[in-house]
Amino acid sequence: PKRIILVRHGESIGNVNSSAYSSTPDSQISLTERGFEQGTACGREIRRLVGNGSVRFYYSPYLRVRQTLLAILQAFEGQPVEIASEPRLREQDFGNFQ
């Protein structure tokens, strides 16, 4: 590849309310409205950087990451992209300590 771009997920419910983790598994924490907006803006910027070049996205299976990817992909509508889930990209998983 010509470049590797690392993107963290957009703002999640867990980022604004840490108590969300007490009732929702980490892997199921979703984005906030702001997080979706951040993902959309990120997609536009990535598209600006890569133009019509080939693109491959690797993403964590966590919900907030998949939602961020969907927001990013809006900027690539009509352009072929490759996507692949990569479980090794997820955050450290220490289990549920409730």
Query: Using CA atoms, how far apart are residues 62 and 35, in angstroms rounded to an integer?
Result: 14
Tell me whether residue 23 is annotated as binding.
no
pLDDT (tens digit per residue) in 21-38: 889 988 999 999 999 999
Assess whether 33 carries a catalytic annotation.
Answer: no
- pLDDT, position 94: 63
Cβ proximity of 89 and 60 under 8 Å = yes
Structural domains of the chain in order of their starting residue, each with its CATH number: 13-89 (3.40.50.1240)
Mean pLDDT of the chain: 92
34 is in an annotated binding site: no
Confidence tier at 88 by pLDDT (50, 70, 90): confident
Longest dimension (CA), the chain: 47
- Is 96 annotated to bind a ligand? Reply is no
- pTM, two decimals, is 0.89
Give the pLDDT score at 96. 60
What is the pLDDT, as a whole number, of residue 77?
95
Number of H helices, E strands in the chain: 3, 2
DSSP one-letter code for 27? G
Annotated catalytic residue, options 33, 82, 86, 91 = 91
**CA–CA dist 68, 7 (Å, integer):** 9
Question: Is there a catalytic annotation at residue 45?
Answer: no
Is 48 labeled as ligand-binding?
no
